[in-house]
Structures are given as structure tokens and as C-alpha cells.
Structure 1
Amino acid sequence: MARRKNQRKGPKKTFGTRDDSNSQKNWTELVKENEKWETYYKELGVIPAAEWDEFKKTCQSQLPLTFRITGSRKHSKEVLQLFEEQHLPNLTNVTWEGEEVKPPVALPWYPERLGWQLDVSKSVIRKNDQFARMQRFLVVENAVGNISRQEAVSMIPPIVLDVKPHHFVLDMCAAPGSKTAQLIESLHSESAEPSGFVIANDADYKRSHMLVHQLKRLNSANLMVVNHDAQFFPRIKVNSAEDHKGPQFLKFDRILCDVPCSGDGTMRKNINVWKDWNTGSGLGLHIVQLNILERGLNLLKEGGKLVYSTCSLNPIENEAVIAAALRRWGDKVRLVNCDDQLPGLVRSKGITQWKVYDKQFQVREKGSENCLDSWFPPSTEEVESFHLDNCMRVYQHQQNTGGFFITVFEKVDTAASEAPAPASDAIAAVEEAQGPELKKAKIDTSSTASHIQKKEKLPRDANEEPFVFVNPDHPALAKCWKFYGIDDKFDKSACLVRNATGEPTRTIYHVATALKQLIVNNEDRLKIVYSGVKLFVSQRSDIDCAWRIQSESLPIMKLHMNSDRIVSGNMEILKKLLTEAFPRYEDLVAGDVDPEFIAQTQKLSAGCTFIRVDRNDPAKEDLFLPVWNGSKCINLMVCKEDVHELLYRVFGIETTSKQNPKAEHMAKKSQEAAEASVETPKEEEDSSETAIDATATQ
């Protein structure tokens, strides 16, 4: 959900933690009451009178912790099995301070039991040994991207959008990125190399960079993060300017419009909503929301689907926006009935009648001065044709969640020209009615094709790094192709660098083929923040290949490598490499640890090598990991978070957050060497630096 204002930064939080610093102990808890909010929703009747007390009580209570096991990786089933077999039994029938503690439950509507809810107080999580152990498991798996903490209702829009691996997907208001992550996972659900892509956009520059931090861990070459006002998202050229056919523009298969909203569906976690809520927020955001929806429908291809969602219950931000779009698009779009989707999800239908309160909390009638017609309910004829009952409303008390509104559009015909924007005189009326609040975020509502064309030509900032593609025959790349045995099925022309010289110096990135064309053809209109995964990173220059394959690109590269630098190893050598830093070959030979693996790696020249471990279990994913091969020692090049995760998932070895098994072993070796006055071999020093670099770039 894109927010209107930047939120105050606070301490980093993990699963079930809270900052109990002394500065907070004297805070007075905010009173969770708002008379206008209560009057407004009671008058609207969106919550049945018999359910109001339960609804309000739920809104005032703590929101349960919810998480999902990411579905794009093959080992998601393995992580789920680990949770259900090693943790869930110990969290059932637990009592704490004389009361029974609720065990975690699978969200009944989330596919394949990959979504979970935990309704337990934070004191229990901190102090009960079994819940603390579960928390550690969640933290470790979250760090490597196998688990994502996300509010339950926030998971719904990406699911009903129904993204497939070949789809071109746009997330118009993407920050902070939890829904975007779901879209990427769906894209990669069948292959590490889908033909589609996800473009994640956010209007706020800082939040667009926060998106990068959230999404980098998914290691997708099919992702692009851009920074544009969603109301005027630029048309993207799919062909070059020299094409004799003239410019052709991209249309998306799937679009998510999770628009800025007043956020009263989040009042269980954002308690400031209780004191700040007013009718003016929804009225002021209505036009922005409608403009974003309009732009999304313009960019959607025939047969494509668009999801419009908010974390607000206010019909001015929801059904009124939907009705306004349907009014102007006519039979070119329709609302999709999702009753047969997400079985187990308790939901309510969209509404067709509501009162309109102005900023002074006075009821207004359609046609009143300084009021937009689109604020008001549809006519009787429109009710029958719009089918607003196909909208989904999820209320807090229905299954102990936040509140959310979701609508799925399907575009029937894109032959018509782009729909007109709201009339400028109507906007002026809104500004006069709403005063300074709306004027602070004043918007230009002219959305004709010519206006969009003017807005989409954006010169690159002098401080921004360019995206420069490297000739696949460049000597640096040619060396890599040969050294690692990269086949011709890999798109070698889709490698780029992020510097003005265009020369490979430190890092070479790789993007999906489809994104390469968009980057090349839209330098003057797309403000690209991020795209591509790190493919090659420079290492020592005194070895056969000065570049190593980066871990984040291994899911792709392992499909295209045919090289003797890939060596099969057993579970024993893997455990050794996970727990010991730079074990010497002489010690491994003496210990008879996987002699065949050791013999093969010793024959190879120094540099980046790979270990493939067959786990001999069709239900579990085989492992493919990078190794530094030196003349006297060997080292597994994975970050400490991956070490913790692999030790537990593969070997059942639990660690604490303060432990770093390889670092502890390295410190012990250094101490022993110092006591014996033994100098550390040079390759250990060099490969240690390589390992640190690998850790830092995960």
C-alpha cells in the first residue's frame, strides 16, 4: 500500500519482537475511540448492526502475526514440512500463566497451506521456550527469503490477480513490496527463467529504493523497479525509434493498483488512524485513486486483469471509484466475480448505496456545490449493469484480520481510445471544498495521450548510474563463457554494467531478455531505480578467470553450465564446509571426507567452483552452492544467514542469532596458528576476502 506520508522510522523489528526501551515505558496508550468514525460507519450500514460490537472490539485489539512461506522456490514444501513437524506439535496445548495459548493455524483460504496466522502475545513469544524456538526458525527463514511476514488481507490481491510465468505485470504503487514479492513468486512458480516480468513502481523516490531492499533477496532477473507518479505512468516502447513501423507501446497482462488510501482498515496496527481519521481524507484521495485506476486500465491489454485494492472501508475510496471508472469505460471492462476463488475466505459483497459526508461531517446531496458527482452512489440502472456486488470487502472481525477492499477488472476491448480524465472544473470545485489538504498534493488531471507523452520524457539525473549493456563478445565475458561452460541458450546479450564507461570493472548484471528491450528502448522515459541480478563479480586477477559467478544468479546459471567446475559432493563434505572455514585439503584427505569430491576439486585451477549435492529424496531440493577452490584449502561461499538456514533445514542443527559457525572456526584456527607461530597461507587470506565479498552481496 502506498502511503500519503512518510512514516517515522523506528527500530528494526522481527517476528514478534517489541522495543521495550525505557523511553517508551512512560507513554500513555492512545485511546482507540473516534466518534466520527463510529457514527460514519454505523450510518453507512456497511457493518450489520448485530455485528457492530464485535467489529469494533476487533478493531481495538492487537493484530495477529501472519506470515507466508514463499511459493516460488521448490523447497517451500520442505520449509512447510519442517515447520509442521518440528515446531507445530510443540506449540499445541501450551499453557502460559494459567491460560491456554492458541497454536498457529494455517489460513484456510491461502493456497497449499503456505499462509499462517499466530495470535499470541509478544510476551509469550519472548519467554516461552517453544515459541521462542519457533521465532528463531521464522527469523532465519525470513533472512534468506523463504518466509515473509505479511498481513493476511494484504496477501489477497496478488492471489486473485492470477499471475502466470509468461505475463507482463505492473505494480503501480508497489512500496513497501510485500505484494510485489508475491507477484514475482507467481512469475517464477514454474521456472527460474520465466518469459514474463514484473515492473514495480512507486511515486516516492525513497520508498522506491526501499522496494529494492525488500525485493533483491528474491534474486529475480525478471524485475524492474521504477520511480513515477502512477497517475501519469509513461507508455513504454517495445521497439526502437528506428523501426519503420513506428513506435509500439507495451500493454500489460496483469496490473495491480493498490492505491494510496486513508487506511482505516489498518487501525489495528496503525493506531494513529484512531485519532486522525476524518471524512476529508477519503474525499481528497478519491480523484488520485480514480486517476491511477484510469491509467492502469489504459495500460491493460485486451483480456488482461487489473486488481484495484485499498486498506480502507470507505466507499468513497472504493465502490465510488469503481463506479466512476465503469461509467466512463462502459462495456470495455467488466468486474470479475471471485466467489469461487479463495474458498475459506470470509468476505462481504460490495455495496451500492452510501451517504456522502463532507469535510465538516455534513451530509451532502448529489449536485451540491463543491461536490463531485462521482462521490455519490450509482443510479438504479447503473446498479444493475455495474455489478458492484462483485467487489470484495473483508472486515476485521470476520476472521481476525485487518480490513481490505478488492476488485478484479477484466478488459474486454482495448480498441477504444484512452478514456478522458475528470473535468478540470470539477477538480477546482474539490480543491475549494477541501481546502489546503488537497492542494498540498495537487494533481494535474489531463490524461490525454499527448499530455502523458510530455510527462514520460524524463532526463536521467546526473547522480544516477546508467544501465549499459556489454557486447557478449567482450573479452571479459568471452572468458567467463568459456571458463564456466555457459551454453548458447543463455541470453549472453542481456548482460549490463552500471557505470558511464560501459566497461566491466567490478560487477556485471544480467536481466531477462524482455526487460533488456525495455531498458534499451526507454532511456528517455523510464526512471529506472533497479533491475538485474549480479551475475559476475571481479575477484583475484592472478587466476584463470578474474570473475566469479555470484550466488544470487545461481538459480539461472546452473541451468546453463556444462563445466568440470561443477563437482558432486556428499552430505558429509557439505556439513564440513558449512561448519568450518577454509578446511585444508590435507586434513580432508586425512579425515577421508568425500575423497572423490576432494580429488576432483584438487585437479581444478584456483577460483570459483561449485558443489552439487544430491539429497536422494524426490521430496527435497538438491543443493547447488558456490565454493572457493584454493591450492591448499577450500571454502563454501555463502552468507552467514544461509549457513544458519542450511544447517537447520538440511542437518537439523539449531543455532543462535549470535553464532556464526564458520567465523567461530576461523577464529579458533587463527588462535591456534598464533600459538604455534604458523603464518596463514596466502590463499586463505585472499579467499577470505572473496568469502566476505560474497556475504556482503547476498
Structure 2
Amino acid sequence: MARNRKNKKGNKKTFGARNDSNAQKGWSELVKENEKWEQYYKDLALIPEGEWDEFKRICQAQLPLTFRITGSRKHAHEVLQLFEDQHLPGLTNVTFEGEEIQAPKRLAWYPENLAWQLDVSKQVIRKNEQFSKMQRFLVVENAVGNISRQEAVSMIPPLVLEVEPHHAVLDMCAAPGSKTAQLIEALHAKNDEPTGFVMANDADARRSHMLVHQLKRLNSANLLVVNHDAQFFPRVKTDDSRRFLKFDRILCDVPCSGDGTMRKNVNVWKDWCTGSGLGLHTVQLNILNRGLNLLKNGGRLVYSTCSLNPIENEAVVAAALRKWGNKIKIINCDDKLPGLIRSRGVSEWPVYDKAFAKKQKGDEGTIESWFAPSAEEASHFNLSNCLRVYPHQQNTGGFFITVFEKMDEEEEQSAKRAGFENNEDINQEKKAKSAEDAPQRQKKEKLPRDANEEPFVYLDPAHEQLQKCWEFYGIDDDFDKSNCLVRNAAGEPTRVIYMTSSSIKKIIQGNEDRLKFIYSGVKLLVAQRSDIDCSWRIQSESLPIVKHHMNQKRVAKANLECLKHLLLESFPGFETMEKLHIDDEFTKKIRALSPGCAFIHVSRGEDKESLFLPVWNGSKCVNLMVCKEDTHELLYRIFKVDSPAKVAAPEKKVGGDRAPQEEEEASQPAESSEAQG
């Protein structure tokens, strides 16, 4: 995670080369040169001499576009198939202005071929018809959460963390959230209702709220966003108030100087200096040590930076190994992510101060942990098990990753017999406890307009409004009805009811005095009309869970022709659907239901994902409650209809029988005054 640099008021960000019109206005291209950076990394000898020119050339070049396909396996592979069938052929053997353009390629090391890289310029994407069409595809799929545009090397830390559905996971420095999204996806990969959770933290209040925008589209009831200084992250209570939670998996993607991101953050070229890494070293070590304190025995922690500087990487790792002794070890990841070109960690490096003067251990103004380990320490630390990914190795950014494991008692005793000693210090835990107890001085920051700082209040499962909903929708007893909450001081259901997992509920109710909660819960119920049997409709965000607990009372099976008609036609009348024989069984059942929210189930065969979507059932018509982004995506993915605007008008003419105005208004999704950001 690169350090957040705030521009001075009045200055504009520089993103690299400017076009001619900007140059005429006084803009000039940023020079991608830094003598001290070049001298420093040549002296470190991290890059073989014969590779330096290529390394520097790639660092100066534009970063490729990379993306990964998300979601359940069936869903993800369907989107992958669509990309390979509809777009990849047109992107192969393409020439632009007389030069052959590289076709998109899979990231060889990413599981199941679900991540891709495009080594083409923005000019080609804008001006070439096939690449422009692919770009529109990426935009649409990204909008609905099927694709995440993420830098390739940024995808590595969550993969080697190896999250399982039952794990308690902490992301200590989560913003902007791309890695956190991977952790959530891994938690849900095998089960729509995992028992574990992901706690996403960031020290900056505004970035914590912005993190929500990145993560809420994943619709996870197992996510909690909090706002704390990661160096002193509070202990989290469990059910037993005398005990504190230890996490199974922790990601420490710490703030860093970010010289591995200079391909996209071009200001690094002019801002880089040795002082940045030296200044961040202590903060990075504090965060890592706090993470190791919070880690369960047998658990796994990943420490990562987007820096290539050993002062921020191996020096931090070595200091933690020196402190924790036999309690932790570095996992060798040579067998992980086959196809990833990587280099080993180093055990020797020089130290330069802010003035670029070479320093020795013990010199005035130095910190001992900046320096390389002794020969004896190096033989035990196994820093070669750290991963270094350099930009020129596979045309990416630069990254550093270390995977720690906290050993259980049996492994600890074995390590002691092998000659290791435990130097663990409880000072870090004491500092964290002091930070918990000290009065919190809140910075006055301008938060996003939709940031909600109302409390999280869980409802009595026997609440009258909830009981009406369970009966109306046929929700079974296996659904945990005690996990429903509201976000208002009155604690009463007014406009929106949310739901969380049981694991998140325990944390929220047990840690109100020690955790600053920012966001949790997915929308379950939204208030609609009051003149019908049930004035609440189930929100689509919660359907992946709720559909498993719902009987067929308000579910109507539909065929693909019916689905297409509902996607293209707003408020189609029942009489028209009967005349056109658009799925007579569906029309018969949906028409017989009382007005209100209902659902359609579209089976597409064993090899493809079934669809379960909400509809609003009126007295004369039905309306599919899907947003325009999802409508566009479903039409393209399932029916190969590229632009619904071009084909919707003829369909509407056929439909003829429009719903009354009041019914149209009632069919629209209600806006929530309790949006969580």
C-alpha cells in the first residue's frame, strides 16, 4: 500500500505525458528520471547488472491494463467464456498504425485463468474498434461487480493468504479495497453463508468510508469495516468477555514509499528519496508486530508492500523475527502460484541516510533494525523465502510479499530444541491496550455525503414487522432471524432493515465500546407500499442468502424467453403476455399472487448459473426489479444483446397495455434514508 500523498491546494495531479493542447497551456511531460533512485538500487544490486536497462525501461513505461473475473465459479467461468468467445478473437492478430498489437494474455499464475493482462496503450483502446468494444464490456461487467480492474501484483497477497470460509480475517490497512475484495470473495468461494468474516480496517476516516464504496457491491453479510490506527489495533472481544479474539488470517499491506508503483504513480519519480523508506520503517514494524500479536497460533499473516526497498521489506521482517523468535516462521512459497516469475528475498543491504550518506550500525541518528541481520541470524531467518516481484520480470508493478505462520505449541517446542529462543515482548500489547483506554481525539474530516454514523441496532426476531415478512415470503427456521438490524437511533424499522452474519453480530454487540464501526450489513428489507399484505420487499443484495431459505410460495419459474421480455419491457401487462403466450405457466402463477414483491427463477442447465431475480407484482402488470447496469449486463451475457436502448422501443410497441401511473410509481425501488455509504 503506497503512502497517501495529498496535493497542495491549487495543484493538479500529474499523470504523466500531456497531450499537445495541454502542453500549449503550460503543461510539460514529467521526466521519469531520478539519479538517487538509480544509484541506490544499483548499489543494492537487487537487479542483475545485465537486466538493469530493461528494468529501468519497464519502470518508465505505461502500466498494462489488468483485470480479474469475480463471483461464483459457474458465474465467473461464464463471464470468462463470454470474453474468450466474443472479444478475444477480435483482439488477436490486430495491427494499429502499421504495428502488430499484442493480444490479451492470461496471468499464468492466477487460478483458473480468471485474470488477464493487456499490454496496449490507452490510445489503441480508444481508437481501435475491437479494443474499444472490449473496454465497454469491461466497464459494464465492472459496474455490476463481475470484473475487478486491479494491478496484477496487487492480486498476489490475498492468494497466498489462503482464506477459507470459516476463517476470522483481518485486513489491517484495507483502503482502497481491491485486496479486501479478494479476501471476501475467497471467504464466499465455497459457501454463500460462510461462518467466518472479514474485518477491514483503515486508519484514515475518509478512506474508511470510501472503502465501503468498493466493497458494498460484493453484498457480503460477513464484512465489517472499522477505523483504527493499525499500529494499536484494539483487541476484539469474543462471546466470553474475558477472552479476546485471535484471527486465523491477517493481511498487513502496510503504508510504504510506493516505488513499486512508479509506472502509474509517476510523481514517485520526482519525490523518491532514501528518507521515505527510513521514515516509514518503524510504522511498518509496529503494524506487523501488532498483527502478529492478534494472530492465532497456527494462523497465517501476509506482510506486503509495493516498495522494492529492503529497509521497508526484509529489514522489517528481520526485526519481527528477531522479536518473536521461535513463535513465528516464514513459509516457503516456491510451490505457490506456479507460473509467477519471482525473485528471492535478500539478507544483505547497505543503509543510506536522508543525505544519501552510507551508514554503519551504531552511527548517530540510525535505528538498529534498519541494518541487515548478522550471519548467524540470517542462517535462521530464511529471508530468501520472501517474495520479490520486479516490474521487468512479467511487465507488472513491483511488490514484496512475506508469508508468516505463527507456530503452535508443539512446533514451538521443536524450534526451541533446534536452538531458537523466544524474544517476544509484551510492550506492544500494553501500548495497544493503552491506546484502547485513552480518550480518542477525533479529527474533523469531511466525510462522504452518504456516510452514516448512526448506531447498529439489532431487532428482536419476534418484532411484528419481521414476523409479517417471514410469513409473507415463507422464510424457514434455518434462517437466523436474530441477525436483522437497523441504522437509526430509535432502533425501529422505518425504511431499511439490514442483515449480518452471526459472527459479525457477536463482534458488533460485544465491542461497541472499543471498535469504531463504519459499515456492516447488506440490505434485507426495504419499505414499500402500505396498502398491501406486506409493506416490505426483499432487496436483491440479500437474495444470494435468502433464496436458500424461501419456500416456493412467491417464486415463479420462468423460461429464457420470458426473462428476455421482462428485461426489455417495463411493466408488461398480464393480458399482453397471455396473448403473446410468453411463458403461460409463469404468467398464470405470478398473476394469481397478491400484489407485492415476488421472484422469478430461471434454470439454465447444470453447467450454467441459475438466475433468481426480484419482481414487483401489480394488479395488471409485472416489473423486473433490476437496475439498468444489471439489465444491460444480463442482456449482453445471456442474449448477446449489446445495447438494450436500440431494441427496447419495438418491444414496448408490441406490449401496448401499460400499467397505470400509480402502479409504475409503486414498482420503483424505494430510496433509503439510511444508506450506509
Q: Structures share a fold, TM > 0.5?
A: yes
1:272-322 Cα deviation digits (max 9, x unpaired): 000000000000000000000000000000100000000000000000000
SS at match of 1:75: helix
Instruction: Give 1:239 deviation, angstroms.
Output: 2.2
In 2: Cα distance, 1:449 partner to 1:607 partner = 51
- Closer/same/farther in 2, CA of residues 340 and 25 from structure 1, 3 Å limit: farther
- Percent of aligned pairs with the same residue? 66
- Contact 1:33–1:274, Cα closer than 8 Å, also in 2: yes
- Closer/same/farther in 2, CA of residues 6 and 196 from structure 1, 3 Å limit: farther
Counterparts of 1:353-372 in structure 2, within 5 Å, are 353-372=348-367
1:35-88 Cα deviation digits (max 9, x unpaired): 000000000111111111110011000110000001445300100111111111
Counterparts of 1:9-88 in structure 2, within 5 Å, are 23=22, 26=25, 27-72=27-72, 74-88=74-88
1:401-438 Cα deviation digits (max 9, x unpaired): 000000000001489896345xxxxxxxxxxxxxxxxx
- Contact 1:63–1:401, Cα closer than 8 Å, also in 2: yes
- Contact 1:71–1:114, Cα closer than 8 Å, also in 2: no
1:141-189 Cα deviation digits (max 9, x unpaired): 1111000000000000000000011110000000000000000000000
In 2: Cα distance, 1:333 partner to 1:666 partner = 65
> Paired residue for 2:617?
629
> Paired residue for 1:236?
236
Q: Which amino acid aligns with 1:83?
A: F
- Contact 2:573–2:659, Cα closer than 8 Å, also in 1: no
- Contact 2:66–2:152, Cα closer than 8 Å, also in 1: yes
Instruction: Give 1:370 deviation, angstroms.
Output: 1.2
In 1: Cα distance, 2:126 partner to 2:4 partner = 34
> Paired residue for 1:249?
244
> Paired residue for 2:103?
103
> Paired residue for 1:344?
339
1:191-216 Cα deviation digits (max 9, x unpaired): 11001100000000111111100001
SS at match of 1:302: strand
In 2: Cα distance, 1:413 partner to 1:46 partner = 35
In 2: Cα distance, 1:482 partner to 1:21 partner = 66
> Paired residue for 1:118?
118
Q: Which amino acid aligns with 1:680?
A: P
Counterparts of 1:391-470 in structure 2, within 5 Å, are 391-413=386-408, 419-420=425-426, 447-448=430-431, 450-455=433-438, 464-470=453-459
**2:461 pairs with 457, 469, 472, which one?**
472
> Paired residue for 2:447?
none
Q: Which amino acid aligns with 1:510?
A: M
Instruction: Give 1:20 deviation, angstroms.
Output: 7.1
1:232-260 Cα deviation digits (max 9, x unpaired): 1000001265xxxxx11110000000000
> Paired residue for 2:537?
548
In 2: Cα distance, 1:536 partner to 1:456 partner = 37
In 2: Cα distance, 1:346 partner to 1:412 partner = 28
SS at match of 2:548: coil
> Paired residue for 2:213?
213
- Contact 2:571–2:659, Cα closer than 8 Å, also in 1: no
In 2: Cα distance, 1:402 partner to 1:188 partner = 28
**1:262 pairs with 257, 261, 264, which one?**
257
In 1: Cα distance, 2:676 partner to 2:277 partner = 42
> Paired residue for 2:329?
334
1:483-541 Cα deviation digits (max 9, x unpaired): 11111111100100000111000000000001100000000111010001000000000
SS at match of 1:371: coil
> Paired residue for 2:418?
none
Q: Which amino acid aligns with 1:650?
A: I
1:312 aligns with 2:301: no
**2:631 pairs with 623, 632, 643, which one?**
643
In 2: Cα distance, 1:399 partner to 1:330 partner = 35
- Closer/same/farther in 2, CA of residues 184 and 250 from structure 1, 3 Å limit: same
**1:686 pairs with 666, 671, 674, which one?**
666
- Closer/same/farther in 2, CA of residues 487 and 36 from structure 1, 3 Å limit: same
- Closer/same/farther in 2, CA of residues 59 and 460 from structure 1, 3 Å limit: closer
**1:620 pairs with 605, 608, 615, which one?**
608
- Contact 1:580–1:661, Cα closer than 8 Å, also in 2: no
Q: Which amino acid aligns with 1:290?
A: L
In 2: Cα distance, 1:679 partner to 1:76 partner = 36
In 1: Cα distance, 2:187 partner to 2:134 partner = 29
In 2: Cα distance, 1:418 partner to 1:352 partner = 22
SS at match of 1:608: strand
In 1: Cα distance, 2:169 partner to 2:628 partner = 33
> Paired residue for 2:189?
189
In 2: Cα distance, 1:143 partner to 1:21 partner = 32
Instruction: Give 1:690 deviation, angstroms.
Output: 3.0
- Contact 2:2–2:258, Cα closer than 8 Å, also in 1: no
Instruction: Give 1:564 deviation, angstroms.
Output: 1.6
> Paired residue for 1:244?
none
- Contact 1:567–1:601, Cα closer than 8 Å, also in 2: yes
SS at match of 2:549: coil
In 2: Cα distance, 1:456 partner to 1:198 partner = 27
- Contact 2:165–2:190, Cα closer than 8 Å, also in 1: yes
Q: Which amino acid aligns with 1:191?
A: N
SS at match of 2:300: strand
In 2: Cα distance, 1:29 partner to 1:263 partner = 21
Which residues of structure 1 form unaligned runs of 5+? Answer: 11-15, 242-246, 422-444
SS at match of 1:199: strand
Q: Which amino acid aligns with 1:80?
A: L
Q: Which amino acid aligns with 1:400?
A: N
- Closer/same/farther in 2, CA of residues 471 and 283 from structure 1, 3 Å limit: same
> Paired residue for 1:493?
482
Q: Which amino acid aligns with 1:451?
A: S
1:139 aligns with 2:119: no
Instruction: Give 1:127 deviation, angstroms.
Output: 1.4
1:558 aligns with 2:547: yes
Counterparts of 1:473-552 in structure 2, within 5 Å, are 473-552=462-541
- Contact 1:175–1:211, Cα closer than 8 Å, also in 2: yes
Counterparts of 1:569-648 in structure 2, within 5 Å, are 569-616=558-605, 618-648=606-636
In 2: Cα distance, 1:339 partner to 1:175 partner = 29
SS at match of 2:524: strand
Which residues of structure 2 form unaligned runs of 5+? Answer: 413-421, 445-450
Instruction: Give 1:682 deviation, angstroms.
Output: 2.5
Instruction: Give 1:453 deviation, angstroms.
Output: 4.0
**2:279 pairs with 266, 271, 284, which one?**
284
Instruction: Give 1:448 deviation, angstroms.
Output: 3.7
- Closer/same/farther in 2, CA of residues 453 and 122 from structure 1, 3 Å limit: closer
Aligned residues: 655
Q: Which segment is superposed worse, 463-472 or 594-603?
A: 463-472
1:579-617 Cα deviation digits (max 9, x unpaired): 01001111111111101100101110000000000112x
RMSD: 2.9
In 1: Cα distance, 2:650 partner to 2:596 partner = 22
- Contact 1:494–1:511, Cα closer than 8 Å, also in 2: yes
Q: Which segment is superposed worse, 27-36 or 65-74?
A: 65-74
Q: TM-score, normalised by structure 2?
A: 0.92
- Contact 2:293–2:429, Cα closer than 8 Å, also in 1: no
In 1: Cα distance, 2:8 partner to 2:659 partner = 50
Instruction: Give 1:660 deviation, angstroms.
Output: 8.6
1:379 aligns with 2:374: yes
Instruction: Give 1:2 deviation, angstroms.
Output: 5.5
- Closer/same/farther in 2, CA of residues 72 and 455 from structure 1, 3 Å limit: farther
In 1: Cα distance, 2:482 partner to 2:423 partner = 36
- Contact 2:290–2:429, Cα closer than 8 Å, also in 1: no
SS at match of 1:74: helix
Q: Which segment is superposed worse, 458-467 or 256-265?
A: 458-467
